[in-house]
Amino acid sequence: MPLFALCALSAFAQDQQPPQEDINLDFGLDEFIYQPTFTFTLGARMLSGVKSSFSGSGTVNSYNQIGALGDSTAVRYYHDGTVAPDHRTDLNGNPVAPDGYTNNWSFADNRQALGDGFLAMNTYSAEVLNTGAINQNPKSSLGVEVQVSRDMGKLFGKLPWTLIGGMSVNDVRANFRSQMDARITKTTDLYYFANGVSAPNAPYNAPGAYTDANGNSFDTALISSQPLARTTTGPTFSNTAVANTWKLHGAFYSFRAGPSVAFPITANLKATVSVGAVLVYAGSTYTVDQIFQPETSSEIVASISDGVSEILPGYYVDGNLEYTFTERAGLYIGGVYQHAGAYTQTITSADGTYSTRVDLSSLQGVRAGMTFRF
């Protein structure tokens, strides 16, 4: 009986204990978990649509000092040879008495030998004519782009939108070679071989032994120390003697900013459209090589080159597909259109004035790369 009373008392005490409260493990930390709001984009951009044209005129000269007729002390430099005062000496090393000939001369081309003992020394000039603009458009250019965007919320409460800012760089390269119309002028001084001998085979530098076409051997060849006559022919028209090579090398940096609106397709795939302003910094070097091939000897080249930089405002439109494969990384691919105007570059020197027009007003292409949220 006492044992039964003790058990009943214990059960009654347990029934009188207050209920235990549940432990709250929610510390309110959700608001401190960082949500990415910025996106960094790194990719490639292939652009086409750059247009360029070339025009201008110039002169190509051999710039030789041929001296005045009758000057017995002149050293005469021609495009295809030289004639200088005689260097012959006697057995004692003393200069020989002047006899109207010199052994101090050279020539470069067999076409200078006119036969009957005569030799022509020539200097040339060409006036390159402006035949109008030559269009040569650069090829597509592969460049690099970077971009940062910030989430701005939802447009109309439905469409996510961002503000973006970025830059890209693409190069510009155009090269072309064209035959040019030209007017050619030639000045010729006429010389005579001592004793009317046949000319050596070119190229020849006197003094020097040689054998003529008939098998006759000579210790050296002497020509008259001064021109017998000087003639100037031209200007005569030619469309084959002069060619120009046009070279345009440069790059342009595109700085752009504007809004972008996203259209979700699935949880990981969305389409985006962006329209905004662009500021283009373009720089280029323009080089023109005027290449004149005269009748005798080597070609004559006159080069003109200079650089320029321009700032061009404009706008852009692009559309993309973006796929996110993790919470913070993804891929994108899309198309872009960009308008930024045109500029003209002119180079001037004593050899001519040439211009090129670079048109960046209608660029289009594709872009692709990776996105990183932070």
pLDDT in tens, 135-156: 999 999 999 999 999 999 998 8
Task: Judge whether 82 and 66 are in contact, CB under 8 Å.
Answer: no
Other Cβ atoms closer than 10 A to 348:
13
Task: Judge whether 244 and 291 are in contact, CB under 8 Å.
Answer: yes
Three-state DSSP class for 353? strand
Average pLDDT, the chain: 91
Contacts of residue 350, Cβ cutoff 8 Å, sequence gap at least 6: none
The number of residues in the chain equals 374
Residue spans of the chain under pLDDT 50:
1-9, 11-13, 29
The residue behind tokens 């209608």 is 362
Q: 339, 257, 290: which is closest to 56 by C-alpha?
A: 290
Q: Where are the beta strands (DSSP E) in 72-199?
A: 76-78, 81-83, 101-102, 105-107, 113-115, 118-128, 134-135, 141-155, 159-192
DSSP class of residue 69 equals T
Q: How far is CA 374 from CA 34, 159, 176, 367, 371, in A?
A: 9, 20, 48, 22, 10
What tokens does 282 get?
């373009």
pTM of the model: 0.82
Specify burial of residue 217 (Cβ count, 10 A radius: 0-12, 13-18, 19+).
Answer: exposed
CA angle at 126 for the pair 125 and 131, rounded to the nearest 5°:
170
pLDDT in tens, 192-234: 999 999 899 999 999 999 988 788 888 899 999 999 999 999 9
The bridge status of strand 113-115 relative to strand 204-205 is: unpaired
How far apart CA 10 and CA 215 sit, in angstroms, is 147
Q: How far is CA 208 from CA 127, 155, 202, 222, in A?
A: 38, 92, 12, 10
Task: Judge whether 241 and 184 are in contact, CB under 8 Å.
Answer: yes
Contacts of residue 345, Cβ cutoff 8 Å, sequence gap at least 6: 284, 286, 306, 308, 355, 356, 357, 358
- H, E, C per residue of 4-15: HHHHHHHHHHHH
pLDDT in tens, 39-58: 999 999 999 999 999 999 99
